[in-house]
Amino acid sequence: MTTSPSERGVSLGMPQLPAPAYPDEVRARLETDAREVIARYPDSRSALLPLLHLVQSEEGHVTRTGMQFCADVLGLTTAEVTAVATFYTMYRRRPSGEYQVGVCTNTLCAVMGGDAIFEELQEHLGIGNGETTEDGKVTLEHIECNAACDFAPVVMVNWEFFDNQDPQSAKRMVDDLRAGRPVAPTRGAPLCTFKETARILAGFPDEREGAARATGSAGPASLSGLKLAKGEAAPARVVHPRGEAPTDTPPHEPSPTEHLSSHDAPQETSASDPEHPAGPAAEEGE
């Protein structure tokens, strides 16, 4: 026996009406910006990603009107634009907060306290994942790796880094955001609103006084490997297998190649095995 969609609780509804147009003055301004963006690319459709940021900077999320605009100026179908806008999580599909607070809950940040931060922020703000506070200030979400594992656990606000966080520091930070008090990222440019961030991501300069000079650089933890490669830091040490002592070094004197971790055995790399130096990887089939 078959059932109708209505009997299954499925509402087919009426076809969606065309997206409303931007007001004339808004569309004219966006068209001027869009032409500047499109001119950077040999193929106009390559400008779709920055144009989605551009329309997101107008309303704080990517609306049907914004997607229709992108389709119009690039000569695409709305289906093609929608496919891209729904693929990337950086494009918001519904109204969201002035500040997007993302807590990394990927492996390292999670075990270092990211899960605890996210849980306490949900309780503190009274919202769940992807939800926005009633004052429209903060949208909370858990996000994937921020590529800042050396500063775990990491929280991001409008894609700016807040390193080495804990539940208390994260709660103070969101309280300051909601109260309008100054909040400074651990590194990077000064914090701005999500709409302003979206315009910068569209490829337009950050015109705030001193913002470009305040971007800074990688922190000490991020530069450790580079310093090691340049010989500016003590060399890594490789541990000998358990129960074995180095034959050329007295037991009480650590070998210069001994690794600090007691869980690692020596690996046959170009550093530990001179007879098998590392070289260019062969192409498949060679």
Which pLDDT score, from 0 to 100, does residue 257 have?
41
User: Any residues with CB less than 8 A from the CB of 172 and at least 6 apart, and which?
Assistant: none
Contact 256/263 with Cβ under 8 angstroms?
no
Give 184-203 pLDDT, tens digit per residue: 898 878 899 999 999 999 99
Which pLDDT score, from 0 to 100, does residue 264 have?
38
User: Any residues with CB less than 8 A from the CB of 233 and at least 6 apart, and which?
Assistant: 224, 227
Which pLDDT score, from 0 to 100, does residue 3 have?
59
Which pLDDT score, from 0 to 100, does residue 271 have?
43
Q: For residue 116, is pLDDT > 80?
A: yes
Averaged pLDDT, 267-282: 46
Q: For residue 138, is pLDDT > 80?
A: yes
What does the DSSP 8-state code read for residue 110?
A: I
Number of helices followed by number of strands (H, E) in the chain: 9, 5
- Bridge pairing between strands 99-104 and 138-143: parallel
* Strand ordering across the sheet containing 138-143: 131-132, 138-143, 99-104, 155-157, 160-162
- The whole-chain average pLDDT of the chain stands at 81
The three-point CA angle 268-274-279 to 5° equals: 80
Q: For residue 113, is pLDDT > 70?
A: yes
- C-alpha distance across the termini of the chain, in Å: 61
Which pLDDT score, from 0 to 100, does residue 228 have?
82
Nearest C-alpha neighbor of 64 from the set 25, 116, 121, 20: 20
Q: For residue 133, is pLDDT > 80?
A: yes
Contact 176/182 with Cβ under 8 angstroms?
yes
Q: For residue 181, is pLDDT > 60?
A: yes
Cα 103 to Cα 254: distance, rounded to the nearest angstrom = 40
Cα 101 to Cα 160: distance, rounded to the nearest angstrom = 10
Strand partners for 46: none
Q: Looking at per-residue confidence, does 104 or 220 come out higher? A: 104
Give 46-78 pLDDT, tens digit per residue: 999 999 999 999 999 999 999 999 999 999 999
